[in-house]
Chains A and B, each alone.
Chain A
Amino acid sequence: MIDRGYYGGFGGAFLPEILVTTFDELVDYFNDVKNDPVFWREYEEVMSSYSCRPTPITYAENLTNHFNGPKIYIKREDLNHTGAHKANNVMGQGLLVKRMKKSRVIAETGAGQHGVATATMAAKFGFDCTIYMGEVDVERQRPNVFWMEQLGAEVIPVKEGTRILKDAINEAFRDWVTNMDTTHYVLGTACGPHPFPEMVSYFQSIIGKEAREQILKTEGKLPKRIYACVGGGSNAMGIFSGFFNDRDVELVGVEAGGKGLDSKMHAVRLSSEDASVGVAQGYKTFFLQNKDGQMRETHSVAAGLDYVGVSPILSDLKEKGRVRFEAATDREVIEALSLTIKKEGVIPALESSHAFARAFKEAPQMSKQDMILINQSGRGDKDIFTIADAVSDPKWKEFITKKAEKYNA
């Protein structure tokens, strides 16, 4: 192994021997493109002509007035093609796959956003594509499954384990150890063995680079706090990394509090006592696990945050005190989502709404002179079924019932 990628005590490459050569090769290619300014220009070009980069920052004037606190800005990753920051990572890895001359991509997906983004990239670049998705997530994210299949990807529902994101990652690895000659595994977040945490963060860093410039241009100063939701940690790494050197900017990562910390039904790895350091899925980080080291079930209303591990880079930043971690419960998230839709006319994804929920909790205590930035990692259209249930919309139920009757007729 050439290089193992440690962040403090976290990260590493705990690889089955069969994959060592594949990873060495990937590390080589990644190091090449990292040092190649032509590659980054090519990347920016694709992101501006195929996705919507640079995505704007939006001043949320009505929310600002509502809380009577700091000025609230939103970084609009929802405006990416396919509706989430996932496109940044996927297009970057897609360009890398072209360099590696592989013909097939595989990916895991939780919310389905990363799956849709990967299937889109595969369609554009002409790769075969297989997506692994936990059976539970297939159920709750049907619209995304529909789009992946329309895009030509094969979607394989994973029936093993807890049938959510971590299980989809295991299955993707099992595919990869068989097919690595032709296949690249497009891991969707800043987790997994080296170089994935670094590589995914590298592509996502485009968020923070833009955001820093934009906010300086608009406001002439940096925000007091930046909020991002944390599943595996890629959108958080993306926006935070633009501000690591700005010591006065407080970075706040928001995890999925689910039904509350006491309920044990959550996915809080960095801001609860329920997680401890372990090694799984090829890397060392905080995991929700029992004392034997068996992974626990997790829960979140947001499929994309429902994961047992977290980026090793964020674990390190937590230990170093550079990022503060908080949790938002399902209920707080739905409230924040409804408020944001009504006040600003933007529809954050359930995942992103965690960042909003925490920001709304803290805003009333902050000064009006302050300014905060929330990363809207994705848009909520995909969550229409979950949100409709959460707000218990009678007209939606009626529509679905009628639709079902038609199908059953």
Chain B
Amino acid sequence: MLRDYLENRLKEKKILLMTHIVLGYPTFDDAYKIIESMVEAGVDLMELQIPFSEPIADGPVILQANQKSLSGGSTVSQCFEFAHKVVERFNIPFLFMSYYNILYKYGVSQFVRDAAETGIQGFIVPDLPPEEGEEYLIAAENHVTSPIFIFSPTTSDDRMKYLASHGKGFIYCVARKGVTGAGTDFSDHLNSYLKRSRQATELPLALGFGVKSKSDVDFLKGKVDIAVIGSETIRLVDREGVGAVSEFIKNLNTD
């Protein structure tokens, strides 16, 4: 189970690294190479985003990656085939991240079942609150995978508890208001939010949105369990190519 894996890893590392890529971007072959470099560099788990034409919670970097992947012809079935390949090859947990319509059109229960059979260990669906997610939650339960829910700084204590009661694996805390990709000020103003998050759940906490340097990751040590690197690797690949990924991650990953 995802949570056991994370808790075991946390006995060896102060903070875990989760990275995010958009499937089919720049191409499926490149995405494979990026995953290979990331795993070699010591990433602990990965989010594989199935591209969607209306990624409402994503900022310009991930938005464009979604669009380019789709205009390159990426399909959901290619994403499943690709996931199958990487799950077989690499020994870390992989999650699917996408928007609800991708699950809905596929058939929510089938989607969860097929993903679980592929070896996908959890799901992040940012536009699916538990209130709208009955079928999804039942399917995740049946197939022993982790539906991952999101806390935000505007989430009340009560709602955090409610979300955590439906979540499995870990909780994804967004660091601030806004969409992915913009800068985050990693300073003590985050403390009370992270403390509230901690009090609301026993699940491990991940923190994402704006994490892009070793000092950001260092700041998060002792505060959360997982640092999430999203847009920054896409920016890096856009700027310097796939080859630059390995060193970037290794640097983040040093204790």
Contact = CB atoms under 8 A, between A and B. Distances in A.
A289 B105 contact: yes
Contact of B67 (A17, A21, A161, A166): A161
Contact of A292 (B75, B149, B151): B75
Interface in A190-206: none
B53 A294 contact: yes
A18 B152 contact: yes
Given A291-B105, A292-B76, A292-B102, A16 B126 contact: yes
B129 interface: yes
Contact of A293 (B104, B132, B150, B152): B104
Interface in A271-316: 276, 278-282, 287, 289, 291-295
Interface stretch (A170-178, A208-216, A329-337): A170-178
Contacts of A279: 100-101, 104, 127
Interface in A1-17: 1, 4, 12-17
B116 interface: no
A400 interface: no
Given A177-B178, A177-B179, A20 B155 contact: yes
A4 B105 contact: no
Contacts of B156: 21
B62 to A, nearest CB: 11
B104 A17 contact: no
Contacts of B45: none
Interface residues of B, number: 42
Given A1-B129, A22-B154, A178-B179, A293 B56 contact: no
A278 B128 contact: no
B126 A17 contact: yes
Task: Tell me if A's interface is mostly helix, strand, loop or mixed.
Answer: mixed
Interface string A151-185: 00000000011000010001001100111100000
B243 interface: no
Contacts of A1: 129, 131
Contacts of B100: 14, 279
Nearest to B180: A174
Interface in B156-197: 156, 159, 163, 174, 177-179, 182
Contacts of B131: 1, 4, 13
B31 interface: no
Contacts of B153: 18
B179 A174 contact: yes
B29 interface: no
Contact of B101 (A22, A166, A173, A293): A293
B90 interface: no
A170 B174 contact: no
Contact of A278 (B60, B104, B155, B163): B104
Contacts of A177: 57, 177-179
B32 to A, nearest CB: 21
Contacts of B126: 16-17
A178 B105 contact: no
B230 to A, nearest CB: 15
Interface string B88-122: 00000000000111101110000000000000000
Contacts of A293: 52, 76, 101-102, 104-106
A154 to B, nearest CB: 18
B87 interface: no
B127 A278 contact: no
Given A1-B129, A12-B132, A292-B75, A17 B151 contact: yes
B228 interface: no
Contacts of A179: 177
B53 A16 contact: no
Contacts of B154: 18, 20-22, 180
A287 B54 CA distance: 12
Nearest to B162: A1
Contact of B57 (A16, A21, A160, A276): A16
A163 to B, nearest CB: 11
Given A278-B105, A292-B102, A16 B151 contact: no
Contacts of B132: 4, 12-14
B178 A173 contact: no
Interface string B49-85: 0001111110110011001001000011000000000
B133 to A, nearest CB: 9
A370 B76 CA distance: 52
Contacts of B182: 178
Contact of A160 (B63, B102, B163): B63
A294 B66 CA distance: 11
Contacts of A166: 54
B70 A294 contact: yes
Given A18-B174, A20-B155, A295 B53 contact: yes
A161 B71 CA distance: 10
A178 B76 contact: no
Nearest to A16: B57
Most buried by A among B99, B105, B106: B105
20 contacts: A14-B100, A14-B128, A18-B152, A18-B174, A18-B177, A21-B155, A22-B154, A160-B60, A160-B64, A166-B54, A174-B59, A180-B177, A279-B101, A280-B56, A280-B99, A291-B105, A292-B102, A292-B106, A294-B52, A294-B70
Given A14-B100, A18-B152, 8 more contacts: A13-B132, A15-B127, A161-B53, A170-B56, A177-B57, A292-B75, A293-B104, A295-B54
